[in-house]
């Protein structure tokens, strides 16, 4: 049996590479212009390699009763890691995945095909445009993991965008986002301010070193109109191979401080990561 070989292709927004993992059969790393984007194990879709993906997975696990099907809208596709995870852990879920880079989507679906009956439907479209056209109260979860290169695009960082996400979610729904920042957290605070203006319950998952401002890193935002299952989430994230902390309530209000929601005209992309922040060896 021949060994899998790397695949490289020019896509709409750079050069994408699929590289096989020598330690796991049928597992692949996706990079775009050298920056890691996704990791997928086709034989074990429940395996989440990246720290931020594991934290999003924990949030999805406690979003509803274990194993219960969900209607999920994914903004950002990558290698479809989290849609595959939901399909494996919550059979019968219906999932739409919105990816702006059609070339990337074609590469992933060609070389890392979805299993039959997965309930996952990929779409080549702009995340904000799709969200604005989506029916109200149509999703149990909206999961945003959109990076143009290594930055969240500005049109996905405003209060106007957050309001569209809130409209699409059902009353019990959960908004999740993968964000990245460093001290003094101007971007992250503004994102929290946007969602605090619309949702009663917020939480943030991040590594303590990131929250203490020691390095640039990812933070997972959760927002809902109904109380979050933070005790279960805290247990899962603390026991993870990459431990993280869950912040909510007064601690989160203190973190937000004087930050205010940002309207479309003033919205900016997330900050550029420092060199090597998310690189691979």
Residue 178's H or E segment, with its range, is strand 169-181
For residue 276, what pLDDT is reported? 63
Let me know how long the chain is. 281
Residue 73 has pLDDT above 60, yes or no: yes
- Count CB-CB contacts under 10 A for residue 71: 16
Residue 248 has pLDDT above 70, yes or no: yes
State the Cα torsion 46-138-159-234 to the nearest 10°.
-40
For residue 156, what pLDDT is reported? 97
Angstrom distance (rounded) from CA 80 to CA 71: 15
**Mean pLDDT, to the nearest integer, of 185-209?**
97
For residue 3, what pLDDT is reported? 61
Q: What is the mean pLDDT of the chain?
A: 94
pLDDT band at 1 (very low <50, low <70, confident <90, very high): very low
pLDDT band at 89 (very low <50, low <70, confident <90, very high): very high
**Interval 121-171: pLDDT, tens:** 999 999 999 999 999 999 999 999 998 778 999 999 999 999 999 999 999
Q: What is the DSSP string of 103-172?
A: HHHHHHHHHSPPPTT--EEEEES-HHHHHHHSPTT-EEEEEE---BTTB--GGGSSHHHHHHHHHHEEEE
Closest by CA position to 193, among listed 182, 208, 205, 204: 204
> What percentage of residues in the chain have a pLDDT greater than 90?
89
Q: At what angle do helices 186-196 and 249-256 cross, to 10 degrees?
A: 120
- Count CB-CB contacts under 10 A for residue 185: 20
For residue 281, what pLDDT is reported? 34
pLDDT band at 90 (very low <50, low <70, confident <90, very high): very high
Closest by CA position to 277, among listed 77, 29, 35: 35
For residue 116, what pLDDT is reported? 92
Please give the C-alpha separations between residue 232 and each of 41, 105, 249, in angstroms, as whole numbers: 26, 34, 16
Q: At what angle do helices 81-89 and 51-61 cross, to 10 degrees?
A: 30
**Mean pLDDT, to the nearest integer, of 43-57?**
97
For residue 280, what pLDDT is reported? 47
Q: Contact at 8 Å (CB) between 166 and 132?
A: no
Angstrom distance (rounded) from CA 253 to CA 69: 33
How wide is the angle at C-alpha 95 spanned by C-alphas 196 and 100, nearest 5°? 75
**Interval 256-265: pLDDT, tens:** 999 999 999 9
Cα Rg of the chain, angstroms: 18
Angstrom distance (rounded) from CA 224 to CA 195: 9
Angstrom distance (rounded) from CA 17 to CA 125: 21
Angstrom distance (rounded) from CA 150 to CA 241: 25
**Interval 26-41: pLDDT, tens:** 999 999 988 899 999 9
Closest by CA position to 111, among listed 219, 235, 9, 14: 9
For the record, the structure tokens of 109 come out as 């679906």
For residue 5, what pLDDT is reported? 86
């Amino acid at each position: 049996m021949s060994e899998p070989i790397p695949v490289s292709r020019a896509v709409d927004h750079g050069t994408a590479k699929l590289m096989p993992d020598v330690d796991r059969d049928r597992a692949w790393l996706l990079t775009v212009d050298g920056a890691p984007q996704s990791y997928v194990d086709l034989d074990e879709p429940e395996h989440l390699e990246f720290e931020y993906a594991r934290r999003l997975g924990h949030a999805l696990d406690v979003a509803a009763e274990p194993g219960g099907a969900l209607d999920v809208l994914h903004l950002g596709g990558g290698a479809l890691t989290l849609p595959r995870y939901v399909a494996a852990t919550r059979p019968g879920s219906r999932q739409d995945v919105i990816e702006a880079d059609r070339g990337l989507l074609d590469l992933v679906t060609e070389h890392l095909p979805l299993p039959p009956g997965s309930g996952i439907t990929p779409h080549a479209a702009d995340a904000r445009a799709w969200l604005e056209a989506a029916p109200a109260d149509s999703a149990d979860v909206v999961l945003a993991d959109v990076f143009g290169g290594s930055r969240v695009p500005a049109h996905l960082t405003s209060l106007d965008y957050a309001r569209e996400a809130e409209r699409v979610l059902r009353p019990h729904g959960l908004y999740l986002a993968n964000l990245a920042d460093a001290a003094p957290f101007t971007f992250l605070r503004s994102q929290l301010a946007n969602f605090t203006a619309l949702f009663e319950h917020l939480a943030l998952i991040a590594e303590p070193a990131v929250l203490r401002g020691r390095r640039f890193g990812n933070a997972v935002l959760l927002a809902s109109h109904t109380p979050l299952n933070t005790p279960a989430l805290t247990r899962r994230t603390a026991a993870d191979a990459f431990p993280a902390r869950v912040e909510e309530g007064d601690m989160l209000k203190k973190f937000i401080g004087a930050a205010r929601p940002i309207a479309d005209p003033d919205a900016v992309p997330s900050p550029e990561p420092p060199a090597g922040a998310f690189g691979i060896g």
